[in-house]
Amino acid sequence: MPLVIENLSYSENIFFHFFFKFFVEFFINFRKLIARLSTEFINLGFGTIDQCIDELLRSIGLFFKVDRSYLYCFNDDYAVMTNTHEWCRDGVPALIETQQAIEMADQILAKDGIDERVVSLAEQIKAAQDPEIQTMKGWLEEWGVPYDDSMSGMDGMDMGGGMMSEDDMAALDAATGVEATRLFLNGMIAHHQGAVTMAQSVLTDGQNPDVAALAQQIIAGQTAEITTMQDILASL
């Protein structure tokens, strides 16, 4: 029997009935989602927590029909949030890796006694990735997808995706000389490999031609930079 509220018109009662029905169904489905994800976490096997978090973000993103979902972690004094995981809908470009590459480049450029080849490479990475970020931000604005600049600069880590952890970034910040050079090159190689893998998935699954063109540009540019960094590492 439909729910009827006195002092409301017929149309208002109809609206309220459907809104109430939608809310109840949404709440029930959301509770089911949380119960399923909680059960999966309880039954986690060793070494599978990152895959489970990825699945959690994917499930939540699809449930709420959004293009992105993130997990942020506070440091011990709650002063910094670190973006540890990200899920993006197929064809939607991720911003985390590009932002972190610029932060890594800034760290190495602020140090004295760094190999000139690495300094030149860091400047090249910044020059290439700044426009990429602006391009992707422009797409997000065009698609009506919210983007928060206050979160974008935080160092992130995508387990297995090439991202540096908070500890890795701190180690790079504290290192000097050849040690800093090695940390930077090893971290940036892994970072670039993750970006290339992500770009290849965009070419496979994406449908937007502009995004595909940027993905091809990233694959070509960062593959070449990986070779350069491996050559520098071998000469140290």
Instruction: Specify if 179 maps to a domain.
Output: yes
pLDDT string in tens for the chain (236-residue length): 454 455 555 566 566 666 677 777 877 888 887 887 788 777 776 567 777 888 888 888 888 888 888 887 776 776 656 667 788 887 776 666 666 788 888 889 999 989 999 999 999 988 887 677 677 767 666 666 555 444 333 333 333 456 777 788 888 888 999 999 999 999 999 888 888 887 888 788 767 788 888 888 889 988 999 999 999 999 98
What single letter denotes the amino acid at residue 213? A
pLDDT score at 139: 67
* Cβ neighbours of 167 (radius 10 Å): 11
DSSP-derived letter for residue 8 is: S
Number of separate domains in the chain: 1
Instruction: Specify if 23 maps to a domain.
Output: no
Q: Mention every residue, 6+ apart, whose C-beta is less than 8 A from residue 216.
A: 199, 203
Instruction: Specify if 76 maps to a domain.
Output: no
Instruction: Specify if 176 maps to a domain.
Output: yes
Assign residue 139 the CATH number of its domain.
1.20.1260.10
> With left for phi above 0 and alpha for psi between -120 and 50, is residue 113 left, alpha or beta?
left
d(CA 210, CA 196): 17
The three-point CA angle 144-150-154 to 5° equals: 115
**Are 174 and 105 contacting, i.e. CB atoms less than 8 angstroms apart?**
no
d(CA 207, CA 236): 43
Its domain, for residue 156, covers 91-235
Q: Mention every residue, 6+ apart, whose C-beta is less than 8 A from residue 53.
A: 71, 84, 85, 159
Instruction: Specify if 204 maps to a domain.
Output: yes
Task: Return contacts of 214-220, CB within 8 angstroms, 24+ apart.
Answer: 214/93, 214/132, 214/135, 214/136, 218/132
d(CA 60, CA 68): 9
Instruction: Specify if 224 maps to a domain.
Output: yes
- What length is written for the chain? 236
